[in-house]
């Protein structure tokens, strides 16, 4: 398996523009996670899905952020409108239901977002 | 969620053992202790996890204190590739929700 795939790897946009980040989880994994990493706040969980259904979106910073998982092999994280403070590395991760005490997550390479 | 305390940074020389400590004094009786690491410019990767007994795998060993209030990740022979940020994460249950702290930045010198 190719692992978790994210695109694009780098995105530079201007404030106010819509940004869409994409993720393809590992085939067969039931869970998909979106994280954001900044120097100031570290690695934060934004939202996660189980069987394509959003389970916990309490980490989504505000209404400008939205995430979807239309099928088991694809998810998007959208920011509209984008702001400079959204600049960060966004990671997608997936895992299989290996028991509640065995949640090894596999992370993608991340998307580095810069909002000017 | 259980709180963790890890040193901000540590240093090691190549091919020497490294002991990375983690305090998790508020850990619950059913929490597993997970370790992840993040190499430069990469996403985090799973290292090891355990509940009570010491654990070994191809990457590292995990020593868990008898009272479970602390644990130590052991890299038996550090390599330059082991330079990374290491995260100790008590898993509080629920749906696979990991909470990452600040971690320990490990530098390995040739």
Which residues on chain A place their C-beta less than 8 Å from a C-beta of chain B?
4, 31, 33, 35, 42-45, 48, 50, 55-56, 91, 93, 95, 97, 100-110
CB-CB: which of B93, B98, B102 is closest to A42? B102
Share of chain B above pLDDT 90, in %: 72
Smallest CA–CA distance, residue B109 to chain A, in Å, is 24
Work out whether strand B104-109 and strand B9-13 pair parallel, antiparallel, or are unpaired.
parallel
Beta carbon pairs, A and B, within 8 Å: 65
Contacts of B83 (CB under 8 A, 6+ apart): B39, B40, B106, B107, B108
Helix (DSSP H) and strand (DSSP E) numbers for chain A:
0, 11
Work out whether strand A10-13 and strand A111-115 pair parallel, antiparallel, or are unpaired.
parallel
Smallest CA–CA distance, residue B1 to chain A, in Å, is 14
Count other Cβ atoms within 10 Å, centred on residue B58.
5
Q: Residue A103's pLDDT is what?
A: 64
Q: Are B74 and B18 in contact (CB under 8 A)?
A: yes
Give the model confidence (pLDDT) of B30-62 as tens digits. Answer: 888 999 999 999 999 999 999 888 999 998 999
């Amino acid at each position: 398996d190719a692992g978790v795939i994210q695109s694009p790897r780098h995105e530079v946009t201007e404030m106010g523009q819509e940004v869409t980040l994409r993720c393809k989880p590992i085939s067969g994994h039931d869970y998909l996670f979106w994280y954001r990493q900044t120097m100031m706040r570290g690695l934060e969980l934004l939202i996660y899905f189980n069987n394509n259904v959003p389970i916990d979106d309490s980490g989504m910073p505000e209404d400008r952020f939205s995430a979807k998982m239309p099928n088991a092999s694809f998810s998007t994280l959208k920011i509209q409108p984008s702001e400079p403070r959204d600049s960060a590395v966004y990671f997608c991760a997936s895992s299989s239901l290996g028991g509640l005490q065995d949640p090894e997550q596999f992370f993608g390479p991340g998307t580095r977002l810069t909002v000017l | 969620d259980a709180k963790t305390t890890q040193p901000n940074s540590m240093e090691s020389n190549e091919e020497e053992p490294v002991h990375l400590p983690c305090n998790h004094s508020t850990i619950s009786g059913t929490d597993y202790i997970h370790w992840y690491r993040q190499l430069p410019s990469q996403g985090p990767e799973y290292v090891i996890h355990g509940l009570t007994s010491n654990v070994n795998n191809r990457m590292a060993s995990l020593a868990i204190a008898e009272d479970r209030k602390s644990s130590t990740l052991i890299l038996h022979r550090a390599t330059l590739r082991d330079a990374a940020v290491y995260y100790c994460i008590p898993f509080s249950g629920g749906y696979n929700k990991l909470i990452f702290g600040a971690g320990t930045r490990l530098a390995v010198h040739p």
